[in-house]
Chains A and B, each alone.
Chain A
Amino acid sequence: MTRGQLDAALEGLSLPGYASGQIVRWLYGPPISDINDMTNLSLKARAALSDRFTLGLQNPLHYQESTDGTKKYLFPAGRGRVEAAWIPEGDRSTLCLSTQVGCKMGCLFCMTGKQGFQGNLTVTEILNQYQSLPERDQVTNIVYMGMGEPFDNLEAVMQSLEVFTAPWGFAMSPRRITVSTIGILPAMEHFLEHSRCHLAVSLHSPFEEERRKLMPVQHVYPLDEVLSVIRKYDPGRQRRISFEYILFRDFNDTPRHVNQLARILNGIRCRINLIRFHPIPDTPLQPSDEKTLEAFLVALNRKGIRTTARASRGQDIQAACGLLSTKAQVTGKVTG
């Protein structure tokens, strides 16, 4: 919960004014397993808290480890389950968080979409993926790129970002956090106005007709409107706007696409992150080969668009981009 929510929750417990500050340090400091571990609170205060609250921490139910060191964790979420991926890489260690059980967006290339939508995660369930992560102390970066569309669960996502970045929370730099969206416009605008974290937008084709075939959301929030909103905001030099681009063989990997990307992104200070496609069941799409990916990357950089290729991590444990799914564990709707 946020500081404001905590203060509201404590009303009526007759705790001293400074207790809120003490409690928040326990909540977001080194993990504790029980309210009675809040040893600088009086016994009476601990009893009052225990009567009304639990810590909400839930350990992962299961994990798998990839040959590349990536670990995929399965966390409980209401009556559902979500996956989170921990991706160590040199000095960096990235946690990929989920925000929903399943997803409503139905993108053609995504495994999560195939399980349908079972519910939003609460802010506690989002934060728990970090707090209960065994490698929590090693995490340097957080990306909201796991299961679900973060901006379809805006309130909980914004509250979780507040906890991650606030001095009273985990005090992480917003420059270490990236939220990824397929372009849910009103929510994206809210995020751009009220957060300083990085934004990543799933682009996947610069042509609206093609993008529509991959991503049904294009019918509701067309790419040109998404780009118009981004153009309105000056991200400054500290904030990064990036576009995610999965390369599909003979579909979106041609020089025509390079030229159109350069055209539509003209004037936006951004970078493109090329992603290798990991085929999923029943998909008609195929990954581009490495030679095409390299040529695409070089061509975009020559056009002046800073372009990188994301390394595929955790593919052998289905933890790579677009592969997270808890369809087998779906037991019903979750709260939110």
Chain B
Amino acid sequence: MSDLSRGDLTAVTVTGNQELAPNVRVISFPRHQPFRAGQTVSLALEPGGPQRIYSIASGEHEKEIRILYDVRHGGKVTPHMSRLSSGDTLFVSSPSGTFLGTPEPAWWIAAGTGVAPFASMFLSGMHQGKVLIHGGKHRQSFYFSGHFLSLMEGRYIRCCSRETGEGLWPGRVTAYLARPELILPEVKYYLCGSTEMVVETRDLLIRRGVPFARILAEIYF
């Protein structure tokens, strides 16, 4: 997400705003324009108000758009957005961005709400030949895991840094990727998350011999 606005906004009616974990929610509204999996929209609570950019987390063919977001304490947008409910109005930009999913084999690597574009790609039918490595602090941090487990079991790795549990790999994404026994295939690597996560993971992949031209990064500014 970003503090950076773009373009004219369309008023949409909120259809849901569900808490997935403490301070993490998913807000939904009818799809106002077509989009491609991996694209972003800018959201505002009112025209002329501050905007934030978010990755779309729903599939290209779904009738609604879902946005996964962290509620930032003291923020100008998300504390208010977290209080919206069905029937309230939200302002949305046209979809944009080039962090796009493709059918070719790839590894999707995300941390926290950075899984959103990969959820969109998954729900758009692009999960064949993909591996998803998702990092989160807690057991509840693996948003949309029900979807991913249904079709990507064995190719869906949940790296949990602060808790243990069945099906969770104990540690951070970078620790998972640094294991010498892990063979990194010649595929594209899509990274999405905070600057720290993206930079650390990118450096690690490069150190392990992945050409930087095969690494695509989306940073949550």
Point out residues on A near B: beta carbons under 8 Å: 102-106, 108, 113-114, 116-117, 152, 184-187, 208, 212-213, 216-222, 282-285
Contacts and interface: CB of A to CB of B under 8 A. Distances in A.
A213 B195 contact: no
Contact of A104 (B98, B211, B215, B221): B221
Given A106-B217, A186-B6, A213 B40 contact: no
24 contacts: A103-B195, A104-B219, A106-B198, A108-B202, A108-B212, A113-B195, A114-B199, A116-B195, A117-B194, A117-B195, A152-B4, A152-B221, A185-B4, A186-B4, A212-B98, A213-B213, A216-B219, A217-B219, A220-B4, A220-B221, A221-B6, A222-B98, A283-B206, A284-B206
Contact of B2 (A102, A213, A220, A283): A220
A216 B5 CA distance: 17
B153 interface: no
A186 B4 CA distance: 6
B195 A220 contact: no
B97 interface: yes
Contacts of B207: 282
Contacts of B199: 106, 113-114, 116
Interface residues on B, range: 20 to 34
A220 B38 CA distance: 11
Interface in B165-221: 194-196, 198-199, 202-203, 206-207, 211-213, 215-219, 221
Nearest to A280: B203
B115 interface: no
Nearest to B221: A104
Contacts of B111: none
A114 B203 contact: yes
B62 interface: no
B163 interface: no
A184 B4 contact: yes
Contact of B217 (A152, A216, A222, A283): A216
B99 interface: yes
Given A208-B98, A284-B211, A116 B4 contact: no
Contacts of B218: 216, 219-220
| Interchain residue pairs A-B with the least CB separation, the first 10 | A116-B196, A282-B203, A219-B99, A216-B217, A186-B5, A216-B219, A284-B212, A104-B195, A106-B195, A106-B219
